[in-house]
Structure 1
Amino acid sequence: MTLSFRSRVEHASAAWVERMNAVPRAVALGVLVLVLAVGILAPPPWSGIAFLLVTAFVGWLLFLTWQRLTLPERLMRIAVLVLALAVAIVGLVPG
């Protein structure tokens, strides 16, 4: 029997989610702040790459939690995803 794409992603993500839960929240938040700081302070294209990492992480979390979210929560997380992607594009595109 073939699993759906969502089921395969959730299954593959289970180990990573468990690892993230094992890390203290302050450490996880610190890593996110560090990547955001690199995105803000580094010159292009490094700033764009850092924001692409943030975008990928937010997108992954959004995908995993999509079914459990209410409409306002979905809209807010999509807004954050779009904003991070826009900043990444600005950081990657020269000039």
Structure 2
Amino acid sequence: MSSLRESFERASLPAMTWLSGLPRLVPFLVVLALVVGGVLLPPPGWLLLVVVVLLLGWILALAWPRLGAVERLMRGAVIALVAAVTVTRIFPH
């Protein structure tokens, strides 16, 4: 199982290195812009929210072993919230 985890981390290393080289505000603003766009744009604007869910899930998966239970719960709740908004945008009625 650890070899799967190590290969996941190894495959993510170039992207994480690139992200960590950005100013801290940039990834936050990109995610914020994607969420706002996903909520305000007409269909298929919800695809932007899908990107956010996948991005946040990927980052949570990478950070999982280093997080405490409360941190895992909070980050999972954020992903669940964005996923719920995504579902309501896909199926509005």
Q: TM-score, normalised by structure 2?
A: 0.88
What corresponds to 1:56 in structure 2?
54
CA distance in 2, matches of 1:4, 1:60: 17
SS of 1:24's equivalent?
coil
Alignment of 1:4-83 (within 5 A): 4-46=3-45, 48-83=46-81
SS of 1:89's equivalent?
helix
Residues 55 and 85 in structure 1, CA contact (< 8 A), matched pair in contact too: yes
Gaps of at least 5 residues in structure 2 are none
CA distance in 2, matches of 1:94, 1:87: 10
Residues 39 and 89 in structure 2, CA contact (< 8 A), matched pair in contact too: no
Q: C-alpha displacement at 1:62, in angstroms?
A: 0.6
CA RMSD, Structure 1 to Structure 2 (Å): 1.7
CA distance in 2, matches of 1:61, 1:27: 15
Residues 44 and 94 in structure 1, CA contact (< 8 A), matched pair in contact too: no
Q: C-alpha displacement at 1:44, in angstroms?
A: 2.4
CA distance in 2, matches of 1:94, 1:45: 12
Instruction: Determine which structure has greater relative contact order: mean sequence separation of CA pairs < 8 Å that are 6+ residues apart, divided by chain length.
Output: 1
Q: Runs of at least 4 residues of structure 1 off by over 4 A?
A: none
Return the letter of the residue paired with 1:83: L
Q: TM-score, normalised by structure 1?
A: 0.87
Aligned residues: 93
Q: C-alpha displacement at 1:94, in angstroms?
A: 5.1
Question: Taking every aligned residue pair, what percent have the same amino acid on both sides?
Answer: 36
Return the letter of the residue paired with 1:73: E
Q: C-alpha displacement at 1:86, in angstroms?
A: 1.1
